[in-house]
Structure 1
Amino acid sequence: MTVGIVVADDQAMIRAGLRLVIGTQPDLIVLGEAADGRAAIDLVARLRPDVALLDIDMPGVDGLAAAAEILAAPRPPGVIMLTTYDTDENLDRALRAGVSGFLLKVSPPERLFAAIRAAAGGEALLDPAVTGRVIAGYGRVPKPPAPAAEGLTPREREVLRLIAGGLSNGEIAAALVITEATVSTHINRLLAKLGLRDRAQAVRYAYERGLVRPGDS
């Protein structure tokens, strides 16, 4: 399957570099480019890509505002934020918008490719350089465990814990000695029970509700 991508950045050289790097992968293709958030929103609506790569700092409508509008539309693509500055405010706004990835522009190409493929598959990937800060932020104030009335089975809670730990479906399957198809079933069920859109929201939910704490293994 070929993953279609829209790239949005106000710097033409950055857009050209991303197109060039992404073009080295046979399963990834850049469908279009935008120089600001409003143009990105319109381009996504017109081209219906699988993934949108959005720079945070763009004139007019910034990348985070664009992400929120894109993700509020029916059948949205996965959205990955690209930034030079990994501030806590940007991280929090990105996660609240429901993005599928948050990458620094200094990240290696392999991490970009992994994030794009994860987003296209409905998964989430945060740059390792910022993951620790996200976890610390949600775990700073101890919270009581969420009540069992939330309706998750013990297995679904375990899958949620592993998702929050950053594991892929394959890694979860290996850890629990089950198939990836079974992992997908558990994830779909727990997302539906909790009223969550995707894995990124599941990670945020797990830390906010005290289901997972920094240092859990």
Structure 2
Amino acid sequence: MKTDFNIRDKPRRIGLVEGHLDIIRDYLSATVSNCPDLEIAMGAETVPQLLQRTTQLDLVVLDLAHLPDKSTPADNVMALQNAGISNTIVLTLGDDRRLVQQAAKAGVLSIVLKKASRDVLVEALRAGVIGDPMPTADWAASIDHDPHAPEWKPQERVIIELFASGLLAADISAILKITGPELTAEIRSIIKKYRNADSKIPQLSPKEREVFRLYAYGQGAKGIAQSLGITNNTVWTHIKKVKYKYERVGRPCNTRSEMRQNAIADGIIPEP
């Protein structure tokens, strides 16, 4: 989606949260080296570290899968918003469907693969710094394949499917016979609706997720306790909390078989 922008006296400040910080910071800096309107101003391995260093940012570029604190996209987007940073895009390998869906549900403005072209990345950055969404095929596909997505209106469904097919915004506007601003308004509505929809995917803490993962793989409480350096009682406390959270959203999680099925469905463990 093409975005109009004006070069200001000072470039828009972009923050980076990335597990492989030095490599990706150098890559982003090289990507925007010929863009006087953009600056990679600060980087950190976690959102709390970034916020300790600065909150004066127009946009944060967020990784999903390699953050050392194992934080969730929802937690990170919320922490940034609470600090006054409302614009976030994701730069990811895209190899974890669950995390990509969580990022889309958290309301990020774009999801860009690390293998994307420089032009696509720059366009997403320029849109993001002014708060404009730039849908990508990966963003749309993550929504389209979410079994817990809300009920879409016919035009919303068409827009999601067209973006998921790889079409660009200009082509979609032409197909639907609407203007660029009208399409942007539709996209904003989709993002808001997806973010606010009741989800049947429980929000687990990092420790609950790790215990759940190991238990769903078939490990016993004693083995999990030894692996994580916690007590058996703590393991069972986490398992009870996981079961309770799944039951609250109407998904049975009483037996090990049900727990395994839920873990596979939510991308916590891979399909066999």
Note the alpha carbon deviations across 1:161-216, whole angstroms, 9 max, x for none. 67645575996499546684xx49x93xx89xxxxxx45624637999xxxxxxxx
Q: Is the 8 A contact 2:14 2:40 kept in 1?
A: yes
Quick check: which one's strand share is greater?
A: 1
Residue 204 of structure 1 is matched in structure 2 by 194
Structure number with greater Rg is 2
Q: Is the 8 A contact 2:51 2:83 kept in 1?
A: no
Kindly indicate whether residue 81 of structure 2 is the aligned counterpart of residue 39 of structure 1. no
Report SS of the residue matched to 2:16.
strand
Q: Distance in 1 between matches of 2:27 and 2:111?
A: 18
Greater relative contact order: 1 or 2 (C-alpha under 8 angstroms, separation 6 or more)?
1
User: Structure 2: which 5+ residue stretches go unaligned?
Assistant: 1-5, 199-272
Residue 58 of structure 2 is matched in structure 1 by 50
Runs of 4 or more consecutive aligned structure 1 residues displaced over 4 Å after TM superposition: 138-141, 160-180, 205-208
Q: Is the 8 A contact 1:38 1:61 kept in 2?
A: no
Quote the offset at 1:91 in angstroms: 1.8
Kindly indicate whether residue 23 of structure 2 is the aligned counterpart of residue 13 of structure 1. yes
Report SS of the residue matched to 1:5.
strand
Q: Distance in 2 between matches of 1:35 and 1:25?
A: 25
Change over 3 Å in CA distance of 1:75–1:138 after alignment to 2: farther
What's the TM-score, normalizing by structure 1? 0.64
Report SS of the residue matched to 2:14.
strand
Kindly indicate whether residue 89 of structure 2 is the aligned counterpart of residue 69 of structure 1. no
Note the alpha carbon deviations across 1:75-121, whole angstroms, 9 max, x for none. 43310112223322112211222111112211111111111122223
Q: Distance in 2 between matches of 1:25 and 1:41?
A: 25
Q: Distance in 2 between matches of 1:161 and 1:9?
A: 32
Farther off after superposition, 164-173 or 14-23: 164-173
Q: Is the 8 A contact 1:124 1:199 kept in 2?
A: no
Q: Is the 8 A contact 1:4 1:29 kept in 2?
A: yes
Superposed CA RMSD in Å reads: 3.8
Q: Distance in 2 between matches of 1:74 and 1:58?
A: 19
Residue 214 of structure 1 is matched in structure 2 by none
Q: Distance in 2 between matches of 1:78 and 1:119?
A: 6
Percent identity of paired positions between Structure 1 and Structure 2: 17
Change over 3 Å in CA distance of 1:175–1:70 after alignment to 2: same
What's the TM-score, normalizing by structure 2? 0.53
